[in-house]
C-alpha cells in the first residue's frame, strides 16, 4: 500500500489527486494533507479521507477548522514548518507536492533526503532550487516523478531509454489564449481574457503564466533539471490542440511522443502508479475525431518571458530563482489589478538585470534571492501604482 502526503489538497491538482486516490483505495491511502485557508474544500476532504495529519496555513485557520470539525481524530498543525513535517511523516511513502510557488522547495528537499518518492506538480520548486534538488537526488537516491503534463510525457517517452541517446526534448505549448496576438493587441487584454485558458482549466497563477508563456519558460528550466539536459537540447513548439503532450528526439532521428486528451488526472495517476500502470475511467483519445494536429514556432517577440527563461536556464546560478520569484510577485500584482498584463515581462526583466548573481547558491542564498526579487517587484509595483493613480 502506498501512503501519501498531499501538499496543497484544495487546489486544482490537489483535488484531482484525491479523485485518483479514490479510484484506487486498494493501492493508495492518504496519511497527511496540507491546505491553505480554504476550509470549504478541506473539511469534506478531512471527513472523507481521515488523514493522520492535517496542515493549514495559520493558527486562525486551525481554530476555525477545529470548530467546524470537532470530531476530527488526527493531528492538526499550521505554518510552513509543518509542511515539511507532513512531507517527512514517518508513515509516508509518496509525497505529492501540489503547492503554488517556491513554497514547495524545502518540503521537497526534505522528503527526497529521506528517500521518499516525490510526485512534483510544483514546477517553481525546480526553477528556484533545481541544483539543490539535483544534489539531494544524487546523494540520497529518492525518486522524483513529474506531474506536469509535458514532463510526464517526456518521463514516459524516456522509459527504458538512455539519456546519452537523447538529442532534443520537444516541449509542446498550447500557445495560451493570446496565440497570434501582436504586442500592441496584448496591451488591451482584460483580466477575464487572461484567466480563460483555451485547453486546460487550472489555478489562477498557472493560467496567467500560460497566457504570458512564462509557464512554458518555467517548464524549460524544469525539464533541464528533471532530465539533466542542457537548455540547448530543449525546444518549444506550439501545438494548439494539446493532444501531443511532449516528445523526445533521439540521436538516430526517431521521435517518440506521448499523446492523450488533456486531463491532468492521467499524469497524476502515472506518477502515483509508477512503475505500474493502473486502469482509469478518463476519456479516451480518438484521433479520427480530433482530425487535425497543427504546429507552429512560438512568438518570442510578443512573449519575451519564454526567451528570458531560456537565458536564465543557460546562465543558471541564482537567476532562475529571481525569474521565478519576480514572476510570482508580478502575477500577484496583476491578479490584484495593480499591474497591466503586458507589463509583467518588463518588471521581471528589470529584476533580472538588477540582481547580483550567485553562481552556486546554497539553500539560504536561494531563499534570500527569492526574497530579494519579491521585494524588488513589490517596490517597483507600488511605484507604478502611485504614478498611475495620480491625477
Ligand atoms: Mg505543463
The reply to whether 291 and 189 lie within a common domain is: yes
- Domain end marker among 107, 123, 146: 146
Indicate whether 361 belongs to any domain.
Answer: no
Whether residues 125 and 242 share a domain: the answer is: no
Q: What is the mean pLDDT of residues 357-367?
A: 94
Q: Give yes or no: residues 158 and 113 share one domain.
A: no
Which of residues 128, 146, 164 is at a domain's end? Answer: 146
Query: CB under 8 Å to 285, separation ≥6 — which residues?
Result: 243, 259, 260, 261
* pLDDT exceeds 80 at position 314: yes
pLDDT tens for 159-216 read 999 999 999 999 999 999 999 999 999 999 999 999 988 777 788 999 999 999 999 9
C-alpha 120 – ligand 1 centre gap (Å): 12
pLDDT at residue 339 tops 80? yes
Q: What is the pLDDT of residues 39-69, one digit of tens each?
A: 999 999 999 999 999 999 999 999 999 999 9
Contact 180, 301 (CB under 8 A): no
pLDDT of the residue at 264: 95
Number of domains in the chain: 2
The answer to whether residues 164 and 294 belong to one domain is: yes
CATH number at residue 108: 3.40.50.720
- Residue 257 alpha carbon to ligand 1 centre in Å: 15
Confidence of residue 390 (pLDDT cuts 50, 70, 90): very low
Whole-number percent of the chain with pLDDT over 90: 92
Q: From residue 66, give the alpha-carbon distance in Å to each of 7, 58, 72, 89.
A: 20, 13, 8, 21
Alpha-helical runs (H) found in the chain: 12-23, 39-49, 59-68, 80-87, 105-113, 123-140, 149-157, 183-186, 191-194, 204-212, 214-227, 265-273, 287-290, 304-315, 319-335, 344-354, 363-389
Are 141 and 152 within one domain? no
Q: How far is the CA of 372 from the centre of ligand 1 (A)?
A: 27
How many Å lie between the centroid of ligand 1 and the Cα of residue 121? 9
Query: Is pLDDT of 352 > 80?
Result: yes
Q: Is residue 72's pLDDT more than 60?
A: yes
Ligand 1 centroid from CA 296, angstroms: 18
Distance in angstroms (rounded) separating the CA atoms of residues 333 and 17: 29
Residue 138, domain extent: 2-146
Whether the pLDDT of residue 388 is over 80: the answer is: no
Q: Are residues 131 and 39 in the same domain?
A: yes
In a domain, 193, yes or no: yes
Same domain for 70 and 167 = no
Say if residue 224 is in the same domain as residue 193.
yes
Query: Among 272, 304, 336, which residue terminates a domain?
Result: 304
C-alpha 172 – ligand 1 centre gap (Å): 9
Ligand 1 centroid to residue 93 C-alpha, Å: 25
Gap from CA of 374 to ligand 1 centroid (Å): 24
Same domain, 105 and 172: no
- The pLDDT of residue 159 is 95
The mean pLDDT of 279-307, rounded to a whole number, is: 97
Instruction: Examine the pLDDT at 391 and tell me if it is beyond 50.
Output: no
Average of per-residue pLDDT across 258-269: 97
Distance 70 CA to ligand 1 centre (A): 39
Flag whether 251 is in a domain: yes
Amino acid at each position: 500500500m502506498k501512503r501519501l502526503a498531499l501538499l496543497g489538497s484544495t487546489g486544482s491538482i490537489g483535488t484531482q489527486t484525491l479523485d485518483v486516490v479514490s479510484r484506487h483505495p486498494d493501492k493508495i491511502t492518504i496519511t497527511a494533507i496540507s491546505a491553505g485557508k480554504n476550509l470549504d474544500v478541506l473539511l469534506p476532504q478531512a471527513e472523507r479521507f481521515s488523514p493522520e495529519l492535517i496542515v493549514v496555513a495559520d493558527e486562525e485557520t486551525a481554530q476555525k477548522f477545529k470548530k467546524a470539525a470537532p470530531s476530527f481524530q488526527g493531528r492538526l498543525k499550521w505554518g510552513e514548518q509543518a509542511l515539511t513535517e507532513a512531507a517527512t511523516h514517518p508513515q509516508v511513502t509518496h509525497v505529492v507536492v501540489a503547492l503554488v510557488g517556491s513554497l514547495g522547495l524545502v518540503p521537497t528537499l526534505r522528503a527526497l533526503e529521506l528517500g521518499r518518492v516525490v510526485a512534483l506538480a510544483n514546477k517553481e520548486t525546480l526553477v528556484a532550487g533545481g541544483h539543490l534538488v539535483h544534489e539531494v537526488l544524487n546523494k540520497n537516491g529518492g525518486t522524483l516523478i513529474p506531474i506536469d503534463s509535458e514532463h510526464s510525457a517526456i518521463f514516459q517517452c524516456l522509459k527504458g531509454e538512455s539519456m546519452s541517446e537523447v538529442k532534443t526534448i520537444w516541449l509542446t505549448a498550447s500557445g495560451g489564449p493570446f496565440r497570434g496576438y501582436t504586442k500592441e493587441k496584448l496591451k488591451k487584454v482584460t483580466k477575464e481574457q487572461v484567466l480563460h485558458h483555451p485547453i486546460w482549466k487550472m489555478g489562477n497563477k498557472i493560467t496567467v503564466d500560460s497566457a504570458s508563456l512564462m509557464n512554458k519558460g518555467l517548464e524549460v528550466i524544469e525539464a533541464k533539471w528533471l532530465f539533466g539536459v542542457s537548455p540547448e537540447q530543449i525546444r518549444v513548439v506550439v501545438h494548439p490542440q494539446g493532444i501531443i503532450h511532449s516528445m523526445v528526439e533521439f540521436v538516430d532521428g526517431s521521435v517518440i511522443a506521448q499523446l492523450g486528451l488533456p486531463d491532468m488526472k492521467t499524469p497524476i495517476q502515472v506518477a502515483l502508479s509508477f512503475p505500474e500502470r493502473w486502469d482509469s475511467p478518463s476519456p479516451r483519445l480518438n484521433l479520427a475525431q480530433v482530425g487535425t494536429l497543427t504546429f507552429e514556432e512560438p512568438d518570442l517577440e510578443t512573449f519575451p518571458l519564454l526567451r528570458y527563461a531560456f537565458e536564465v536556464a543557460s546562465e543558471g546560478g541564482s537567476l532562475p530563482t529571481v525569474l521565478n520569484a519576480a514572476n510570482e510577485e508580478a502575477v500577484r500584482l496583476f491578479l490584484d489589478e495593480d499591474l497591466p498584463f503586458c507589463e509583467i515581462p518588463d518588471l521581471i526583466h528589470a529584476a533580472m538585470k538588477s540582481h547580483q548573481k550567485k553562481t552556486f547558491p546554497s539553500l539560504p542564498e536561494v531563499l534570500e534571492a527569492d526574497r530579494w526579487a519579491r521585494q524588488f517587484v513589490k517596490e517597483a509595483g507600488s511605484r507604478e501604482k502611485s504614478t498611475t493613480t495620480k491625477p
